[in-house]
Structure 1
């Protein structure tokens, strides 16, 4: 097999299919992108929530900062524990579908003088301190 220099030489590689390689790679790349977009369009399996067992607005999370996962259809929860002097203690966590009966209502606390306001939200990390300002009172 003889290879010639110049334009005629590059055409002699044609029967080997080497001049079509960039087009084939482009098609494979395009198919991979389409498949990735279809996979990412599916609903996530878990909701990711911010978890903190003891937090104040002034000091931030004091105990148990973490991330919790709840099955799809569940919610993120923030409990505001308040008293008449304006003290606001926060607890953030995940709530499964079966536990969402305590979403969005106010009740008295077992500790005299305090009440609890609970609020649920349904997007990833919607109850973290940065997003809570937009989603919660």
Structure 2
């Protein structure tokens, strides 16, 4: 145990109502967050949109024909467009050893029955699962982590 001598040794956070250093840090963080909210919140409230909000003409999706988590997209990285009401899709091809190969693409609304299913693949020991999402680039590698959590 270390003992501080002199004036520093007699100082305490207790007169401030703080029992420990972590408690003091939490209070500082809370004060900073409240200050930022009051300053930036009022700034953002006063901004009027420059034009009325419109629905986008197309949904943009990430496309990759062969991707792994370890190596990223190995074949065909691109962006595809589909009309509103369609979706972005990611197919996961997995096996029991933990291999996960992904295929990302656009899916027109006529083919939405492919969304959210799991079935065995024609190759023994592998199965395929699919996930659809409905926001711009929601199936790209960065967004996939957020939407699948």
Q: Which runs of 5+ in 1 are unaligned?
A: 1-32
- 3-state DSSP class of the match of 2:136? coil
Distance in 1 of aligned mates of 2:65 and 2:148:
17
Give unpaired runs (5+ residues) of structure 2: 1-47
- TM-score normalised according to structure 1 size: 0.71
**Cα distance in 2 between the residues matched to 1:131 and 1:75:** 14
After TM superposition, the structure 1 = structure 2 runs for residues 43-82 of structure 1, keeping only pairs within 5 Å, are 43-82=55-94
- Alpha-carbon distance, 1:94 to partner: 0.2
Q: Which of 39, 47, 51 is residue 37 of structure 1 equivalent to?
A: 51
SS in 2 for 1:132: helix
Structure number with higher strand proportion? 1
Q: In structure 2, what is the equivalent of residue 131 of structure 1?
A: 143
Q: How many residues are matched? A: 102
Other-structure match for 2:22 = none
2: CA distance, partners of 1:130 / 1:48 = 15
How far does residue 105 in structure 1 lie from its aligned partner after superposition? Answer: 1.1
1:136 shift after superposition: 2.5
2:125 equivalent to 1:113: yes
Give, in angstroms, the shift of residue 101 of structure 1: 0.2
Q: Which residue in 2 is equivalent to 1:16?
A: none
Secondary structure of 2:51 counterpart: helix
TM-score (norm 2): 0.66
Runs of 4+ more than 2 Å apart: none
Alpha-carbon distance in 2 for matches of 1:135, 1:81: 19
